[in-house]
């Protein structure tokens, strides 16, 4: 059967593909260290699970309002107000089946042919694909490791055209771990406001920050910025709830209404049971969130130090999220078993074959000089994986 041109162009999610490959190799009995998945290894906190069990027992197992039940919207409103002083109405919130779905819906209701959307690179794999799928054009703005992977304002201004409709921000960033302080955000927001851009702010890693840093949602920078921002977040990373599939958007009523219409014709409501669990996540005690973030920090300190001790590895110190993004370009041109390492994909294949370690090639995130290592796994696995990488690269001549 001939597929639609849309489906033909679509690339599989590299992050999910590598994770699946590592799992399949493990199932074959091969001892793989999986650094692919961007998924916390912690169990979902008990109080959250209990609410889901209660929901099942009480028969809360039917269709709900398409964009989520009011009680959940209120819990989200409560969290945003308590954490950041942000005020939203229920009509400004919609809940979808994970933040990935939220972002997909946003692309579908906002972008069409002629629309340009600016994405800072390195970027999370799904942004360009989702925009292309909607018919829009992703415009990549490169950021440099030397500048902490931050947007250069002059570069940004040069990329603006009358067709530019939106700017995607993701901080703390997947894959670099870089984040923005309030002053930096203000400068970026000023450029966006002066050009009438919408800001799509993916803040899914807002609770995973290191070295005493605090998170500032761009929407807190003033009423005008808030009006032009759609804030995206969810429960996957902060509450270790990747499988529950709850994400949300907060912002302009018109956009939220269109997302609800789209959802009503596609998935309908997010899972009723997960919605009840998410209420507990947002409204219940937040100690587990802090505990998990502290543990990620301990792992980050260990892995970044170890990676930087490997000759010719250079690893940026992440400020948040749970990924190390080392530069491995010094290995390009070297060989193993007669095969030359030419790019991040070759290096990733080398690590899988020689070290039995699964990572994601930087090329998938728009940067071929890097690999992404997720340290959302146990300290034991991290130690084992880094030891293996260290030993394997000695073979590269």
Residues making contact with ligand GLU (CB under 6 A): 13, 15-16, 37-39, 100, 124-126, 174
SS3 annotation, 50-115: HHHHHHHHCCCCCCCCCCCCHHHHHHHHHHHHHHHCCCCCHHHEEEECCHHHHHHHHHHHHCCCCC
> For residue 352, how many C-alpha atoms fall within 13 Å in the half-sphere facing its CB?
21
For ligand PMP, the closer CB: 218 or 355: 218
Long-range contacts of 333-339 (CB under 8 A, 24+ apart): 334/396, 334/397, 335/396, 335/397, 336/395, 336/396, 336/397
Please pick, from the candidates 170, 263, 274, 374, the single residue that binds ligand PMP as defined by CB under 6 A. Answer: 170
- Determine which residue in the list 67, 234, 251, 361 makes contact with ligand PMP, applying CB under 6 A: 234
For residues 22 and 255, which CB has a smaller minimum distance to ligand GLU in the complex? 22
Structure tokens at 265: 């014709």
User: Which among ligand GLU, ligand PMP, none contacts residue 267 (Cβ within 5 to 8 A by kind)?
Assistant: none
236 binds ligand PMP (CB under 6 A): yes
Contacted entry of ligand PMP, ligand GLU, none for residue 263, CB cut-off 5 to 8 Å set by kind: none
Q: How would you classify the pairing of strands 371-374 and 360-361? A: antiparallel
CB of 303 to ligand GLU, least distance (A): 16
Q: Looking at residue 20, what DSSP letter applies?
A: H
Stretch that binds ligand PMP, among 20-28, 97-105, 177-185, 220-228 (CB under 6 A): 97-105
* Residue 234 contact among ligand GLU, ligand PMP, none, beta carbon within 5 to 8 Å by kind: ligand PMP
- Binds 33, which of ligand PMP, ligand GLU, none (CB < 5 to 8 A, cut-off by type)? none
Contacts of 79 (CB under 8 A, 6+ apart): 282, 283
Structure tokens at 376: 């959302």
Which residues touch 314 (CB under 8 Å, ≥6 apart)? 145, 308, 326, 327, 330
Using CB under 6 A as the binding rule, whether residue 172 contacts ligand PMP is answered as no
Q: Supply 56's token pair.
A: 């099942």
Please choose which of ligand GLU, ligand PMP, none residue 16 contacts, taking the beta carbon within 5 to 8 angstroms, the exact cut-off set by kind.
Answer: ligand GLU
Rounded CA-CA distance 347/353 in Å is 10
Distance CA 187, CA 184 (A): 5
Give which of ligand GLU, ligand PMP, none residue 202 binds (C-beta under 5 to 8 Å, depending on kind). Answer: ligand PMP
Report the C-alpha gap between 215 and 276 in whole angstroms: 26
Task: Give the span between the Cα atoms of 117 and 132, in whole angstroms.
Answer: 10
- The region of 92-100, 271-279, 311-319, 386-394 touching ligand PMP under the rule CB under 6 A is 92-100
Minimum distance from CB of 350 to ligand GLU (Å)? 21
Please state, in angstroms and rounded to a whole number, the distance separating the CA atoms of residues 391 and 111: 47
| Contact code string over 240-259 relative to ligand PMP, x by CB under 6 A | --x----x------------
Residue with tokens 């998924």, as numbered in its chain: 39
Residue 13 interaction partner, one of ligand GLU, ligand PMP, none, beta carbon < 5-8 Å per kind = ligand GLU
The span from the CA of 77 to the CA of 93, in Å, is: 8
β-bridge mates for residue 358, sequence order: 34
Nearer to ligand GLU, 38 or 326 (CB): 38
Residues 124 to 143 in contact with ligand PMP, rule: CB under 6 A: 124
From residue 194 to residue 233, the character string flagging contacts with ligand PMP as x (rule: CB under 6 A) and all else as - is --------x-x-----------------------------
Question: Taking contact as CB under 6 A, which single stretch among the options 74-82, 95-103, 271-279, 305-313 is the one that binds ligand PMP?
Answer: 95-103
CA trace torsion 252, 255, 260, 266 (10° rounding): -150
Interface with ligand PMP (CB under 6 A):
38, 98-100, 124, 170, 174, 202, 204, 234, 236, 242, 247
């Amino acid at each position: 059967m001939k597929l639609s041109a849309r489906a033909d162009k679509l690339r599989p999610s590299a992050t999910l593909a590598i994770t699946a490959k590592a799992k399949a190799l493990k199932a074959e009995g091969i001892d793989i260290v999986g650094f692919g998945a961007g998924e916390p290894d912690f169990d979902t906190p008990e109080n959250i699970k209990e609410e889901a069990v209660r929901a099942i027992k009480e028969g809360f197992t039917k269709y709900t309002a398409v964009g989520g039940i009011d009680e959940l919207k209120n819990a989200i409103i409560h969290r945003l107000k308590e954490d950041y002083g942000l005020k939203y109405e229920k009509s400004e919130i919609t809940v979808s089946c994970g933040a990935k779905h939220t972002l997909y819906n946003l692309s579908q209701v906002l972008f069409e042919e002629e629309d340009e959307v600016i994405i800072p690179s390195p970027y999370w794999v799904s942004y360009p694909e989702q925009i292309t799928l909607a018919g829009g054009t992703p415009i990549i703005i490169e950021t440099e490791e030397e500048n902490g992977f931050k947007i250069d304002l002059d570069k940004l201004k040069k990329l603006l055209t009358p067709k530019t409709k939106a700017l995607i921000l993701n901080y703390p960033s997947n894959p670099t771990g870089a984040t923005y302080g309030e002053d930096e955000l203000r400068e970026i927001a000023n450029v966006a406001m002066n050009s009438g851009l919408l800001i799509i702010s993916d803040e899914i890693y807002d609770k995973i920050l290191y070295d005493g840093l605090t998170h500032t949602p761009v929407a807190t920078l003033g009423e005008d910025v808030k009006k032009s921002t759609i804030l995206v977040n969810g429960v996957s990373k902060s509450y270790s709830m990747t499988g529950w599939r709850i994400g949300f958007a907060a912002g302009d009523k018109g956009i939220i209404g269109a997302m609800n219409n789209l959802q009503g014709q596609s998935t309908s409501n997010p899972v009723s049971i997960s919605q009840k669990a998410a209420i507990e996540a947002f409204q219940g005690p937040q100690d587990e969130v802090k505990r998990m973030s502290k543990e990620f920090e301990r792992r980050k300190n260990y892995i970044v130090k170890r990676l930087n001790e490997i000759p010719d590895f250079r690893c940026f110190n992440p400020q948040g999220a749970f990924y190390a993004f080392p530069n491995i370009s010094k290995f390009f041109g070297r060989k193993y078993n007669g095969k030359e390492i030419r790019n991040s994909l070759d290096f990733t294949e080398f690590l899988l074959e020689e070290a039995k370690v699964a990572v994601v090639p930087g090329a998938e995130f728009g940067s071929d000089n890097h690999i992404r290592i997720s340290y959302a796994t146990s300290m034991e696995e991290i130690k084992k994986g880094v030891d293996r990488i260290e030993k394997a690269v000695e073979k590269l001549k």
